[in-house]
Structure 1
């Protein structure tokens, strides 16, 4: 039975280095998101994985979803208390 990432065993050092650079770029793009971009759906990032699976996202009802958004924003206050405030609409 083939395991995830077994395909990497057959790749060259050059291919692996290029793949690492591509993945680092995508991670940096996501990390450097700011404002409302922090909240969006990110299929572009998921598409970097070799296993392509249908996107089967389940979303909570609006009241639960909004409570999750509030918790996320509160966690930013706790984890990044000095973050600058960006006051513009999405």
Structure 2
């Protein structure tokens, strides 16, 4: 079964509306910043028409934290000039 078969039944206006909805979701994910970078984003998955509960596998704590460190190190390499969000999780950004 093609998970995108619903698209074939849409007219041009419906397709344009769907593209705009998907772009808005992608932009929201892309524009995550600060501590929001550390969270998974089920809202992004919710943009798909099929309703499934993803089977998320979570690594054990030490491996998970090592992955977080590698992700942060990659951000430092790839976005070294990015502003720093210097606040604790749960605090309001200043």
TM-score range, shorter chain: over 0.9
SS of residue matched to 2:75: helix
Instruction: Give the CA RMSD over aligned residues.
Output: 1.0
Q: CA deviation at 1:57?
A: 0.8
Aligned residue runs from structure 1 range 1-90, under 5 A: 2-90=1-89
Runs of 4+ deviating beyond 3 Å: none
Name structure 1 gaps, 5 residues minimum: none
Aligned counterparts of 1:71 and 1:15: Cα–Cα separation in 2: 41
Q: TM-score, normalised by structure 2?
A: 0.89
Q: TM-score, normalised by structure 1?
A: 0.92
Q: CA deviation at 1:53?
A: 1.1
- Aligned residues between the structures: 89
Q: CA deviation at 1:30?
A: 1.0
Aligned counterparts of 2:22 and 2:6: Cα–Cα separation in 1: 16
Name structure 2 gaps, 5 residues minimum: 90-94
